């Protein structure tokens, strides 16, 4: 029942032009860096990418902007990326901005088989335009739809061959909801351990959501804003 694949190229070989891809990560924290690099090399185009952010100009999903592989971006915050701005203003890139909690919930719902839900987030703003409004207990909510993707890329700390995943600190972020919302979920991990070596009580993403597991080497884990105090 091993889901382990030895090459990252194999991991992305099923991804086709026009696919919808969900990627975990917040800023550059917990991003599937190896899978993104492999996808760049694969050259697939016209991707719809769902991710909280779009990397920076020279790292993360920003790399796929540079090669113009992304047709549409669904995200909550894209302010760290100049290429993004250029391509959006040129009309080369479609953008759907989604409030961060709504994005997380749309992925959670999509992965859980829930087609839509109501939320107060965005009521009275541009986000609510064209959406169904409904009043519950005197408060107005808008309907938001679940998101699923053809593929999901997630980054975890540890995994076993069945695809059980454990994340580390705030690198968890969108990865668990991405894992659930992908029809084919590919996990890249820092450390692959034997089956039975992970405590079942500690598993964040059960292997049922994961199709392939890949162990990456030499993680860069770039820091976007290094803030420290003098020792």
Partner 1 sequence: MAGKRHFILERALKEIKDGMNVNLGIGMPTLIADRIPEDVHVMLQSENGLLGIGAYPKEGEADPDLINAGKETVTVVPGASYFDSAESFAMIRGGHIDLAILGGMEVSEEGDLANWMIPGKMIKGMGGAMDLVQGAGRTIVIMDHVNKHGESKVKKRCSLPLTGQGVVDCLITDLAVFQFKDDEMRLVEIQPGATLHEVQNKTEADFLIDDGLTSYQ
**Cβ-based nearer residue to partner 1, 72 or 168:** 168
Q: With binding defined as CB under 8 A, does residue 224 bind partner 1?
A: yes
Chain positions 31 to 60 lying near partner 1, rule: CB under 8 A, are: 52
Q: With binding defined as CB under 8 A, does residue 143 bind partner 1?
A: no
CA-angle at 193, arms to 191 and 198, nearest 5°: 110
Least separation in angstroms between CB 167 and partner 1: 8
Q: With binding defined as CB under 8 A, does residue 30 bind partner 1?
A: yes
Torsion of CA 180, 160, 171, 114, to 10 degrees: 10
**Cβ-based nearer residue to partner 1, 116 or 120:** 120
Q: With binding defined as CB under 8 A, does residue 153 bind partner 1?
A: no
* DSSP state for residue 186 in the 8-state scheme: E
Q: Which residues pair with 210 in a beta bridge?
A: none
Q: Hey, what are 144's tokens?
A: 């938001």
Interface stretch with partner 1, choices 6-14, 60-68, 162-170, 193-201 (CB under 8 A): 162-170
Q: Which residues contact 103 (CB under 8 A, 6 or more apart)?
A: 50, 52, 74, 75, 76, 147, 174
Total residues contacting partner 1 (rule CB under 8 A)? 59
H/E stretch holding 65 reads helix 62-66
**Cβ-based nearer residue to partner 1, 71 or 204:** 204
**Distance between CA 98 and CA 187 in Å, rounded?**
24
Interface stretch with partner 1, choices 5-13, 20-28, 37-45, 143-151 (CB under 8 A): 20-28
Q: With binding defined as CB under 8 A, does residue 118 bind partner 1?
A: no
Q: With binding defined as CB under 8 A, does residue 189 bind partner 1?
A: no
**Distance between CA 138 and CA 160 in Å, rounded?**
48
Order of all β-strands in the sheet with 116-119: 116-119, 139-145, 133-136
Q: With binding defined as CB under 8 A, does residue 88 bind partner 1?
A: yes
One of 38, 104, 147, 156 touching partner 1 (CB under 8 A): 104
Q: Hey, what are 139's tokens?
A: 């408060």
Q: Interface residues with partner 1 (CB under 8 A)?
A: 26-30, 52, 75-80, 85, 88-89, 95, 97, 99-105, 107-108, 119-127, 157, 167-177, 204, 221-231
């Amino acid at each position: 029942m091993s889901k382990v694949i030895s090459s990252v190229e194999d991991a992305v070989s099923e991804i086709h032009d026009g696919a919808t891809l969900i990627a975990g990560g917040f800023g550059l924290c917990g991003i599937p860096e190896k899978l993104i690099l492999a996808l760049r090399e694969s050259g697939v185009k016209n991707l719809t990418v769902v991710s909280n952010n779009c990397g920076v100009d020279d790292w993360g999903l920003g790399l796929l902007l540079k090669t113009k592989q992304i047709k549409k971006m669904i995200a909550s915050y894209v302010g760290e990326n100049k290429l993004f701005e250029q391509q959006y203003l040129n009309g080369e890139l479609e953008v759907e901005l989604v409030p961060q909690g709504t994005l997380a919930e749309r992925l959670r719902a999509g992965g859980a088989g829930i087609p839509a839900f109501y939320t107060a987030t965005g009521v009275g703003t541009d986000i609510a335009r064209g959406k169904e409004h409904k009043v519950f207990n005197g408060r107005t909510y808008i309907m938001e739809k679940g998101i699923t993707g053809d593929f999901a890329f997630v980054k975890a700390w540890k995994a076993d061959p069945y695809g059980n995943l454990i994340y580390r600190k705030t690198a968890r972020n969108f990865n668990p909801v991405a894992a659930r919302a992908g029809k084919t979920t590919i996990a890249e991990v820092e450390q692959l351990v034997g089956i039975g070596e992970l405590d079942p009580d500690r598993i964040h993403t059960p292997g049922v959501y994961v199709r392939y597991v890949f162990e990456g080497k030499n993680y860069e884990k770039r820091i976007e804003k290094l803030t420290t105090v003098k020792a």
